[in-house]
Amino acid sequence: MAKIPGKTETIANEESATFEPSKGTEEVRAVAEQSVEQAKEAFSKLESNAETTQKAFESSFEVAKTTRNEVSLKAIAALRANAEAGFKHLEALVAVKSPSEFFELQAAFVNKQIDASIEQAKALQAVMLRAGEDVSKPIKDAFEKALKELKAA
């Protein structure tokens, strides 16, 4: 027992722990192996998420392409209908016999075209709204899936 100066108690000398290099090496190896496994798992998850995201974007682009074609066809149909209505109106104007008949015919045509334009705009708006939902759906689904996986982990 060693005495500590200024103290009346004595403390027994304890043997200090000895360091064994073989145990240290084993522990370092175990930690390294665990780190490698964790890195492989993380990389695997990252790769899987990247593939899911790529598929979602490809799906969105395909939907966008299809929607673009649909919108183009609707716009062309509207232009064609408006052009045909304009030509019919011109034919009717040629047959007019009085100024009052001209103004009456012109007012009816303008009202009809306003109504047609409103309906065409509503149809295009409906297609565009649906397109926005359809295009964003694959990405939204992939994002929600990723969030669920993160919450589960």
Residue 44 belongs to some domain of the structure: yes
Contact 116, 85 (CB under 8 A): yes
Residue 3 belongs to some domain of the structure: no
- What is the reported pTM? 0.58
Nearest to 91 by CA among 99, 83, 80: 83
Residue 79 belongs to some domain of the structure: yes
Residue 84 lies in domain: 22-152
What is the predicted pLDDT for the residue at 9?
Answer: 54
Residue 2 belongs to some domain of the structure: no
Instruction: Kindly state the DSSP code that residue 11 receives in the 8-state scheme.
Output: E
What is the predicted pLDDT for the residue at 77?
Answer: 93
What is the predicted pLDDT for the residue at 151?
Answer: 79
Nearest to 56 by CA among 133, 148, 141, 145: 141
- Map residue 2 onto helix, strand or coil: strand
Residue 13 belongs to some domain of the structure: no
**pLDDT tens-digit series, residues 107-138:** 999 999 999 999 999 999 998 898 888 888 88
Lowest average pLDDT, out of 65-74, 75-84, 93-102, 139-148, goes to 139-148
Total number of domains constituting the chain: 1
